[in-house]
Chains A and B, each alone.
Chain A
């Protein structure tokens, strides 16, 4: 797999889509390929987040620890990205990711990513606009949901 393929993979991720090609190439160059065997843990819930992973091949499960035990909440497949929040802010991992088949990933390290953003503000602006977009989407969803909830409550009150 060549560097150019990695650049294409990164570009397909919405978070990185707005970064200009030359910088994306630098990000790809500073990222590394990381392979896991089926059953191997990519990262664990509660660990400090130090990288985002993009699935290049294979699949993985997102598992959350609950008082009732571990629950698989989602599956990841090719071109999915996981852990991207970790490279934007200091939060511990909110879930565990386990390879469910042999898994190939592209690992984007937090330090390299931060270096890139601090060096080239336009990269940060691109990311910010993507995040704002997401926030907007979330807000819209939330408003919708609140309206629905209120409606349900009113209906429940009359029932």
Chain B
């Protein structure tokens, strides 16, 4: 990237800047004209009213002339305003375009950081830089030439105008500028220094915050929160004083400026007045100069602000860009170039004199030389920190040795572009990367290198698509469309579309993730636009379920199915009322009682009071049962309807509530009582609060709720229908279409098994896995366990059938007992190709054809390995 912001502007926006300049220049004649007009009005129209007036060829009387001039003045004001509007909009456009480019460039640089450098990069700081600090830069770039040109030009026009009226008045107007020109940069330099400090400090702040976010668990576990609060106070205090000092200086500059601007009329009146009295200058000229001078202060102030902004962004640009140019930045072409010709993965992988140092200069790999024939399976063993990770990464071409080289079939890895390394080879490290996408997206990550088929916009959006493409190109962003078809199925050997899902399922099976994804699929919901035929098939399974339950008495008692005409005693009262699944957060079961429409329905059916009575009964029982338990007791979590912190309120409420006169309670209390029984499950809680009579009324409310549901809420709930698939409910709930009965031994296990066997009988296992594939992994894959993430990363790597697969501590979180089986399965799937696995457990090395034992960055020879085996096994 260009070393200064001016270079960046010149390179990427010179055309736009010229356009801004041209528009600005075109506006000046009109500006001058509008300045001159008051003089004509005063001197011609008013001072000599009775002379004949000629207005562009027309002879006008004195009134016509006056109004013609005034009309012209109005028109000029309008024209000046329009010019300003056009320039502002265009400058804004340039600003946004450049901001977009700048952010893209910086982001693109992150992808090119040398991997060892990543250890020193703070996420918080980088985010702060790309998001916040560039904002000011973009704004500046848009106006980089426009403000000095427009405001400077305006200033100049006004000054020229004043000088033409009278050079002496002109001199008077600029008499004080030298003083300002001396003081202001001096102050500004101090502001600049503080500005630099502020940027650094705010970055530290961003870093602290992001670190706290990731470490809250440990901070609390160590009771270190007060210390962290104090530390944050300290950081904030530093920012506070820096900003405070900046304000003082900034306003000092403003003060000096305003002061000098406002004492200028002193010169006009004294010098100008003298000249008028002596008859050297007309009164009109003085009026015009005074009004021109009033206009002078605004561009002057704008210029001054611009000057301050300029200083600010110069520093910001410098401070941002320098952070994005670490030593050893990967050459851009290594990532952008497409491979030319077919690369041969034949012969052997050879390391010759490989030496790797870390950023402190310590040797991590010490002059390693070895050969690995292809194909083969290789284990790298050794203690943690002994160079295993560096060796694995060097063999995958991810770090370039400081000396020596790694070659595959004679090709130096350091020379190969990412498009070869990232397609023909694969690397799985620790911790594995799982992004906040679906499981499917994460799996296919390694098969999305370049768009294979361009994105086809639909008929209606073609024009908009073209425009978007053009704007993207103008901002120098990626030439590829995100929505295009990127997945290179051919690389995975999958030719036909219908083979894709079975292929993914098989790969998940290799890493033993299929059962997990299947379970996620059972709990998942169908996406509106996909799996249309699956709905019908699942309804068939639901019908098969009905048949099974009807034919088998012992199964039937395990489930209470949904029946629109019956109260389901294994469901909560809320579920019974809604009789559907909430499709958004309007009718969240937890907060159903607060919903206005629900309240309206309850009132209409006339059961609000009965529910409050039930609520009061429940509150009594809860208060009685939980009164002497400490607030953090786990019974609250498991059994209570009232949160521990709310219990005292309810105690008071129970004490003052008169069951016969609940109407007298205030709205707040009534609301609280009403909300309580919504979570009651008859079959489970045995409190006898929901009587048969109340059940009947709730069924009535269920009907009323559905019939009167206002259209704007109709998409907020998906009602349970025996013959329709419910998109808001999970796959297994759709098949079950009911509730597992409480109190029936083994019911959940047996019903789950039944659902599975029915789905498998219907041949839907793969389709359910497909649903599971659309599960969102959460930020950093946090909704999956570490073991699942590791399996996912391995599946991703073997999916595209690399010629060489390198792994480092890739299965460490997986159950120790299962690791060797997993490794065997992966080796089997990679049969005929090369697998190099850096293992934390030396005892697993026996599964591999050869072993490279490392210690302190050196290869151990066979004899040394013998000695090492014993202690290492103990460590594993």
Give the B-binding residues of A (Cβ under 8 A).
Answer: 1-3, 6, 22, 25-26, 29-30, 32-37, 40, 42, 112, 115, 119-120
Contact = CB atoms under 8 A, between A and B. Distances in A.
B686 interface: yes
B684 interface: yes
Given A33-B686, A115-B635, A120 B628 contact: yes
B742 A32 contact: yes
B743 interface: yes
A52 B283 CA distance: 110
Given A33-B743, A115-B633, A119-B633, A3 B628 contact: no
A153 B688 CA distance: 62
Given A42-B745, A115-B633, A32 B684 contact: yes
Contact of A25 (B624, B630, B743): B624
A1 B625 contact: no
A3 B745 CA distance: 20
B625 A25 contact: yes
B226 interface: no
16 contacts: A1-B686, A2-B688, A3-B621, A3-B686, A29-B639, A32-B684, A32-B742, A32-B743, A33-B686, A34-B744, A40-B745, A115-B633, A115-B634, A119-B629, A119-B630, A119-B633
Nearest to A3: B686
A35 B744 contact: yes
B684 A22 contact: no
Contacts of A33: 686, 742-743
Contacts of A120: 628
A158 to B, nearest CB: 57
A6 B686 CA distance: 9
Interface string B616-640: 0000010011101110011100110
Nearest to B626: A26
Contact of B687 (A3, A37, A112, A119): A3
Contacts of A26: 625-626, 635
Interface string B679-708: 000001011100000000000000000000
Nearest to B633: A119
Nearest to A25: B625
B639 A2 contact: no
Interface in B794-844: none
Which 8 A-B pairs have CB atoms at the shortest separation, nearest pair first?
A33-B743, A2-B688, A26-B625, A36-B745, A3-B686, A34-B745, A35-B743, A34-B743
Contacts of B557: 35, 37
Contacts of A42: 745
Contacts of B635: 26, 30, 112, 115
Given A6-B686, A33-B742, 12 more contacts: A2-B687, A3-B686, A22-B625, A29-B639, A30-B638, A33-B743, A40-B745, A42-B745, A112-B635, A115-B635, A119-B629, A119-B630
A115 B635 CA distance: 8
Interface in B16-69: none
Contacts of A112: 635, 638
B214 interface: no
A6 B621 CA distance: 15
Contacts of A29: 621, 625, 639
A34 to B, nearest CB: 5
Nearest to A99: B745
B596 interface: no
Contacts of B629: 119
B695 to A, nearest CB: 16
A112 B634 CA distance: 9
B554 interface: yes
A37 B557 CA distance: 10
Contacts of B745: 34-36, 40, 42
A39 to B, nearest CB: 10
Contacts of B626: 26
Nearest to B628: A120
B822 to A, nearest CB: 29
A22 B743 contact: no
Contacts of A30: 635, 638-639
A3 B639 CA distance: 14
A109 to B, nearest CB: 10
A58 to B, nearest CB: 12
